[in-house]
């Protein structure tokens, strides 16, 4: 499904996900949610690697999609990223969200970021607050 379908927004309405080219959402049989982002020169830092803020934005979008796929509204309370390998121009990064703790209003997630060759680029830990609990 697309993010636009998931969130009920019109295609072309804009938003950071649109600017970054993140549109498709996949929900796994294990409950995970994954989104992809094709890396372009506009998303690189001056050293030619994917900007850390780009990876952070990808993870934040993935978390939002996780909650939306369950009919929830949520905001991030905290996030922590660990970078292992650089993301490179022309690659596709995939952020996969795994729920670690499901609370009534506060949840914790592991987000794994890999490139299209399977290299482990980063891990994130996010805590969210569900503003519209289940």
The pLDDT assigned to 2 comes to 84
Range of the domain at 43: 3-132
The pLDDT assigned to 6 comes to 80
pTM listed for this prediction: 0.91
pLDDT, one tens digit per residue, over 42-65 is 999 999 999 999 999 999 999 999
Distance of CA 69 to the CA centre of its chain: 13
Q: How many domains does the chain have?
A: 1
Q: Say how far apart CA 91 and CA 76 lie, in whole Å.
A: 27
Q: Say how far apart CA 36 and CA 117 lie, in whole Å.
A: 13
The pLDDT assigned to 131 comes to 84
Structure tokens that stand for 39 in this block: 């890396």
**CATH code of the domain in which 79 resides:** 3.10.129.10
pLDDT, one tens digit per residue, over 86-125 is 999 999 999 999 999 999 999 999 999 999 999 999 999 9
Q: Say how far apart CA 56 and CA 126 lie, in whole Å.
A: 10
């Amino acid at each position: 499904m697309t993010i636009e379908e998931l969130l009920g927004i019109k295609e072309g309405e804009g938003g950071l996900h649109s600017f970054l080219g993140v549109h498709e959402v996949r929900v796994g049989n294990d409950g995970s949610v994954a989104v992809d982002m094709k890396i372009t020169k506009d998303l690189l830092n001056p050293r030619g690697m994917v900007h850390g803020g780009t990876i952070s934005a990808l993870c934040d979008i993935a978390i939002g999609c996780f909650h939306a796929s369950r009919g929830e509204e949520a905001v991030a309370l905290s996030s922590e990223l660990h970078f292992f390998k650089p993301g490179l121009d022309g690659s596709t990064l995939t952020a996969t969200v795994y729920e670690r703790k499901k609370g009534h209003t506060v949840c914790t997630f592991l987000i794994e970021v890999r490139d299209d060759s399977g290299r482990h680029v980063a891990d994130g830990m996010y805590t969210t607050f569900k503003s519209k609990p289940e």
